[in-house]
Amino acid sequence: MTQRKVIQYRIPLGFTFSFPCKQEGLTSARLTQWTKGFKCSGVEGEDVVQLLRDAIDKRPDIDVDVMAIVNDTTGTLMSCALKNRECRVGLIIG
């Protein structure tokens, strides 16, 4: 952030969390279970957005505001539609 000269700004963040979640809002999603061979204790059933915010808050040198969590297909569609308003499908393979 220092190198990009954005350290003095509050940075809005949207992110994809590619694991099954129960989305409770634009900035709230609870991990239902780990998949793909991942297993970290204390995360299942927790709000992954809040966990990320808590981790960010431990870094006084950065100012990041989590604005949204989206699934990967939605994120792909949104990214494409930003460049081409005719985009209608987001597709994740793998």
pTM, two decimal places: 0.83
Amino acid identity of residue 72, one-letter, is: D
CATH number, position 55: 3.30.420.40
Question: Could you tell me if residue 79 is inside a domain?
Answer: yes
| 36 noted as active-site residue | yes
| 65 noted as active-site residue | no
Per-residue pLDDT of 17-65, as tens digits, reads 999 999 999 999 999 999 999 999 999 999 999 999 999 999 988 899 9
pLDDT above 80 for 2: no
Domain membership of residue 53 as a residue range: 11-83
Question: Could you tell me if residue 88 is inside a domain?
Answer: no
Q: How much is the pLDDT for 5? A: 74
Amino acid identity of residue 7, one-letter, is: I
The number of angstroms, rounded, from the C-alpha of 69 to the middle of its chain's C-alpha atoms is 4
Per-residue pLDDT of 68-79, as tens digits, reads 999 899 999 999
Number of independent structural domains in the chain:
1
pLDDT above 80 for 1: no
Question: Could you tell me if residue 91 is inside a domain?
Answer: no
Question: Could you tell me if residue 3 is inside a domain?
Answer: no
Given 22, 39, 57, 72, which residue is catalytic?
72
Given 36, 58, 61, 83, which residue is catalytic?
36
Amino acid identity of residue 53, one-letter, is: R
In terms of phi and psi (left: phi > 0; alpha: psi -120 to 50; beta: otherwise), the region of 37 is left
Question: Could you tell me if residue 44 is inside a domain?
Answer: yes
Question: Could you tell me if residue 4 is inside a domain?
Answer: no
